[in-house]
Structure 1
Amino acid sequence: MATITLDHLDKLYPNGYHAITDVNLDIEDGEFVILVGPSGCGKSTLLNMIAGLEDITGGEMRIDGKVVNDLSARDRDIAMVFQSYALYPHMTVRENIAFPLKLAHLPKSEVNEKIAEVSASLGLDEYLDRKPAQLSGGQRQRVAMGRAIVRRPKVFLMDEPLSNLDAKLRVQMRGEIARLQKDLGVTTVYVTHDQTEAMTLGDRVVVMRKGVIQQAGSPDELYRNPRNLFVAGFIGSPSMNFVPGRLIDRTTVATGFGDIRLPEELAALATRATGESVILGIRPEDFDDAYLVDPAVADRGTTIEVTLDMVESTGADRFIHFRAPERHAPADHLREAAQDAGVDDLGGELVARVTNASQVRPGMQMNLWFDPRSLHLFDGESGDSLRQETVS
């Protein structure tokens, strides 16, 4: 077990590309930390720096308080699991798992004991004499994990280990990885581009963009209290809706849907905005079909009229796609941040998630209801959240 400290870590390549910029992160002993972000954000580079596979060009990295900047990968007592499995095709499952133990020159009896223990925990007993080509993708991934687990390293590093699996198997393997990590209590750093995977696996999630940590926190914290527009758009599926607007007397936001009055706690924070330009955020699941809202609470919310472009049914829910009638153009750098988060048209296409009791179809008009207290408010210039500090 180990703690990992990243202290002002930098990675600058000879061609001038700054892959990692001033990363500061403390990973506790036994913690399961997820690095997540879009392709090219630097998460795999950072993982490789922890592993010793990439040189550190600035800052300091410590494992259990010991500086390891110049320590080779083999001397860091770290085990990695890759997307590609990296199994030896000519070896059986037993031989693949045993390989790191044989390199350590452990007695045969101890090797067999450790293989039996790991094989039982991963459900590999019946496959021990098979070769990788005779296994499914999920079985091969379990073998790769077994090879990492068997020597009980201080740290596990996993680089998108489930990317090659189909959707159903990914869900199954997520559960197995979470169980194993909890049982073993080994400090684990896990890289993924899948925010759903990140939210369901990690004790703490680190969201990255362009080599910079945007926010680190528990899954609930990132969902309820995103630090900026990028994190808000990246975390959640479907993505948060963004509606550019203009502040009126710091209490109301003028939008394409009309004037939306802010709840008292948001109105108080609106004074932090650098100007009149703001962006309202609301998650798809915070909308309701106004026709189905309990009359006892309807007056507490806000209703907007929309024209439906598309309706998707998933059985229990319907995803309603619509557009704002008009909008205030957001700043270009915020549009870029939203695109990095997967929101291609900031303030354009919006989505509401309602129950299947809502009888709607494309082309019709309907009223959507939401509680203004569910709104997020972002500065129209910086993209920073104005409500972050008010959420517990």
Structure 2
Amino acid sequence: APGTACHFTGPLLRRMTAEQLWDSFLTLINPNPDMLNMTAREYLEQRRLAVEKVAAPAETLKSIQASAKKYQEQPEGVEAMQKLMAEARDEAKKYQSIAAKVTGPEKKAASTRAAECNAKVKSINREITALYSNARSTVMTEVIIPGQKKLFEKVTGKPFETIAYEPNRKVPIQAAPSAGMQAAGAANDEHTMAPGDGKIKTTKAEAAEAEIKAWSEEAMYYAIPRKQWRNYFRSRARQSQQWLRAAEIESPAPRGHFLREFGQSDREFIENSNSEASVPQALLLMNGELLPQIVDRYSQLMLAVGRARSADERIDAVYMAVLSRIPTAREKDLCLQAQDKGLTTVEDLIYALINTRQFIFNQ
């Protein structure tokens, strides 16, 4: 209030960073803004596991050299067998051709000879397969299995031991759930564990089922007609892929991305971000791809506005979502005056509030 001492020693107004501004827009678009970027997390997890498997390069190199030596021993034997197999195949074709031209005992003898040649081809092929299988088993025993043992011991801190496989073994959920499961809540307290890494594996079908369940609950909460659920699910799937928190997006973002335009650091220097205003930023707020996403019928903001029952409630809902407060009497009066001049839609109000300094600054 005027005349009251302010004990806050920092600046009263501070322009939001690029990440804060992006997350502010995200909360207007995505009904579940805290969902994780599972694709990126799985990719990073695979890279981490790959690094851990070669944590002992000297031993890994020794194992690979042993496997390579085993493979090098194969070519001469395999080449000779392949030559014998080609000869037997040609001989079988020759006798099959003879059997097709003659009759009687000669036909029977030629057919028998062709069958013997075909049997020889199959026998040689089995021997070649056995040689390659032997080499592959060397790779498994010398490289893959030792790597898995070391990984198990490093992750669990326990000595590796062979256990009997139990396909229906159940354990309590302990890994981070998918985004859809976070929204839906864990409806089932058991899940199948994959042997080896100690992490819960959720199949694509189970993840999709959890997402559909979560989206169905959202659709019922926002009173979306059931015949529109398919369109709502399609929109939510797109939002879950494209509209994630800045912390879940690769940093630095690509050039031209909203975050880079609003001053995100390019990570080439320490503290390289900036919060300076620019013309491209103003153009992006006025004409960029954000506004169509915000006023989409299935965005968080429009779903909240759709629950309002009157014009005053719709205005209150927009102000609460965009500025985190209800409008003053004067602001409501200005909205009514704007409606008299043709700005009759909620989208016009949203556009105006997003482009105010009050939205971009933190007080």
Asked if these proteins are the same fold (TM beyond 0.5), I'd say: no
- Normalising by structure 1, what TM-score? 0.25
Higher relative contact order (CA 8 A, sep 6+): 2
Rg comparison, structure with higher value: 2
- Structure with bigger helix share is 2
